[in-house]
């Protein structure tokens, strides 16, 4: 379904797209019912490296800080 909030979030993350892999999850699909139950009122939700990071909108500074920490750990 169209998701303007998700589209806005993807746009905010666009400058970083070469530094991470974006995996989108459609929580409306039956196989994602656990995500739906947990986040149905909180989209979009962001996890980085399997850990919850933020919800509702992209906090660019928080995202950038956490992404940089991961990159430094992997170097």
In tens digits, the chain (75 residues) has pLDDT values of: 688 999 999 999 999 999 999 999 999 999 999 999 999 999 999 999 999 999 999 999 999 999 999 999 987
Q: What is the pLDDT of residue 31?
A: 97
pLDDT score of 57: 94
Distance, CA of 56 to CA of 73 (rounded, Å): 27
pLDDT for 3 equals 87
Q: Give me the domain span that covers residue 18.
A: 4-73
CATH number of the domain that 27 lies in? 3.40.30.10
Q: How far apart are CA 69 and CA 29, in angstroms?
A: 33
DSSP string over the chain = ---HHHHHHHHHHGGGTTSS------TTSGGGHHHHHHHTTS-SEEEETTEEEEESS--HHHHHHHHHHHHHHH-
In total, how many domains does the chain have?
1
């Amino acid at each position: 379904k169209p998701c303007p909030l998700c589209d806005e979030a993807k746009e905010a993350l666009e400058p970083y797209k070469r530094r991470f892999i974006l995996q989108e999850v459609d929580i409306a699909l039956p196989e994602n019912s656990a995500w739906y139950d947990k986040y149905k009122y909180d989209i979009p939700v962001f996890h980085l490296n399997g850990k919850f990071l933020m919800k509702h909108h992209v906090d660019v500074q928080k995202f950038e800080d956490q992404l940089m920490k991961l990159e430094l750990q992997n170097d």
